[in-house]
Amino acid sequence: MAVSKHSNSSNFFFILMDLPGLEASHCWTAIPICLIYILSVLGNITIMHIVKSVPSLHTPMYLFLSMLSMADLGLSASTLPSMVAVFLLGQRIIGAATCFIQLFFIHTFSVIESAVLLAMAFDRCVAIREPLRYATILTTRRIGAIGLAVVIRSAALHLPLPVLLGRLTFQPVSALSHSYCVHPDVLRLSCSSTVINSGLGLFVMLSTLGMDAVLILLSYVLILKTVLCIASNTERFKALNTCISHICAVLLFYTPLVSLSMIHRFGKKKLPAQVYMLLSYLHFLMPPMLNPIVYSVKTKEIRVRILKMIHPNKY
């Protein structure tokens, strides 16, 4: 007997994927997952608290760093509910409407993080190429406008995604490839034509993540061109050293993303499911945890403030 298909999001569900081969080991897999989320939340809240409470850090570089921490917190909060349901509660069924809402927030915060990384690249470019005009170009008002534009762009571009998904037909129960909902994964399970959805998804990806990556690369080409014109090796190193933390953050964000996109479109059937899921977790879980660590280690002002919080009588 044929299985009925539904287009009403209240009539069908998705099954979230556990780690392949570790379905019966929730007690052990939940430990590193919880640790990642705890470190992500503590690290990013600490960065935001330090920047907010120290007036001398109310500069463009640190204001953008606070925005990055906000984006990381949003990304962590977007994946957290379903990850907790799978690894702590053993609950793998998620309603379609809930799934569509989750993928909207996951992709929105992912693009916000990409845009903030672009803004930080622009900040470094201005600081190195136009040091005398740095404070007049990147004023607090302009930084606020940049932050608002980043949020509006990300939300507006992704708002149609869940709406269009709600118009598709699905099997009553479909199995996802992740422990959370992402657009390409949900789209492949549709029983109806996905040409419009795929076209919109590709447009959004190219106009946000793709364009951001190109502009970040262009920023560093300009930075490198300026640095190579500096006569003193010490000054060259000093200028490049201010970019190390940002370069690490860019690599943490884009390397798994590019690999994941290639697998989604070209090589998924040729690779084990474990590789696919690992890259997905690296993209969505690792940057929120590692970004605060990278900036704490490489940025003296942040590092000193954290040490003062840990040992108030020593520093």
pLDDT in tens, 201-260: 999 999 999 999 999 999 999 999 999 888 788 888 888 888 999 999 999 999 887 777
Q: What is the per-residue pLDDT for 153?
A: 96
Q: What is the per-residue pLDDT for 188?
A: 87
Quick: pLDDT tens for 44-75: 999 999 999 999 999 999 999 999 999 999 99
Would residue 21 be called left, alpha or beta, if left means φ above 0 and alpha means ψ between -120 and 50 degrees?
left
Quick: pLDDT tens for 102-156: 999 999 999 999 999 999 999 999 999 999 999 999 999 999 999 999 999 999 9
* pLDDT above 90: residue 173: no
CA atoms of 204 and 189, how far apart (whole Å)? 20
Query: Of the segments 63-72, 88-97, 163-172, 193-202, which one has the largest average pLDDT value?
Result: 63-72
* pLDDT above 60: residue 268: no
Among 191, 87, 207, smallest CA distance to 157 is for 207
Place of tokens 């740095």: 134
Q: What is the per-residue pLDDT for 264?
A: 61
Place of tokens 């709406």: 163
Calculate the CA 252 to chain-centre distance: 9
Q: What is the per-residue pLDDT for 314?
A: 67
The whole-model pTM stands at 0.91
Q: Which CATH number fits domain 14-310: 3.40.50.1390, 3.40.50.150, 3.30.390.50, 1.20.1070.10?
A: 1.20.1070.10
Q: What is the per-residue pLDDT for 315?
A: 59
Amino acid identity of 142?
R
What residues contact residue 103 under an 8 Å CB cut-off, 6+ apart?
Answer: 161, 162, 165, 180, 181, 182, 183, 186
State which H helix or E strand residue 50 sits in. Answer: helix 26-53
Query: What does the pLDDT average to over 270-281?
Result: 73
7-11, 74-78, 96-100: which has the minimum mean pLDDT? 7-11
Report the chain's terminal Cα–Cα distance, integer Å.
73
CA atoms of 212 and 190, how far apart (whole Å)? 30
Are 124 and 205 in contact by the 8 Å Cβ rule? The answer is no
* pLDDT above 50: residue 166: yes
Quick: pLDDT tens for 19-34: 766 666 666 777 888 8
Q: What is the per-residue pLDDT for 12?
A: 80
Read off the tokens for 314: 């020593």
Read off the tokens for 62: 């640190």
Q: What is the per-residue pLDDT for 229?
A: 87
